[in-house]
Amino acid sequence: MTTYRVSTKSDSIEHKLRTGINGKGPGRSYWNAETEVRFLDTETDDRTAIFWFGETQWARRLRHYTVSGDIGYPIGRKMLATVRASYTTGTTNGENVEKYFYEARVNYRLLKNLNLLAWWRMEWRNEGWWAGTPVADPMRREFGWRTREYRIEVNYVVFKTTCALEYNAYRSVLGPYTTEYNRLYLKLSRKL
């Protein structure tokens, strides 16, 4: 019998500064804008150690700058439309990184207890997000990553029970590799 023991010692310091502003108008709309600066420095005694800091793997030095915002607008008494977007730039382990996402969401109340939710999201990251990936997986460092996702949901609430029918379509492209699925869910949940 063989026993393997993994032991790693690391010290990390992370600094985050986030500031934002929100407001109302024009009309009945509401909005929010935010900026964030994130610095991370890690020292470790094992160069093969795996770390997971948020969405950055094997990161020893981060310098990320993010701008994000959203705006929502009620349409009549039954519909709310929301748009969100975010852009991040900077470096991970000295390599340039860039990421953006945007999404649109519509919530429409068909009847008192019957709602329709439609949602669409697009996200893109360049290859720098995998800075420091081991050589065993070189393909991850050569390509950017794009995802696109759609979801439509109809839910009906009776007393404290929710019945939902949801359709979800997802597509992810990593260089020449594509992952794609379409799913249909029927969900039943109850609040206590």
The tally of CA atoms less than 13 A away on the side-chain side of residue 135 is 1
4 part of a folded domain: no
Beta-carbon contacts of 151 under 8 Å, excluding residues fewer than 6 positions away, are 117, 118, 119, 120, 166, 167, 168, 169
90 part of a folded domain: yes
6 part of a folded domain: no
Determine which helix (DSSP H) or strand (DSSP E) holds 139, and give its type and residue range: helix 139-142
Q: pLDDT tens digits, residue range 60-110?
A: 788 999 999 999 999 988 999 999 999 999 988 777 888 899 999 999 998
146 part of a folded domain: yes
88 part of a folded domain: yes
Q: What share of the chain is helix, strand, coil (3-state, %, to 5)?
A: 5, 70, 25
Would the pTM count as exceeding 0.85?
Answer: no
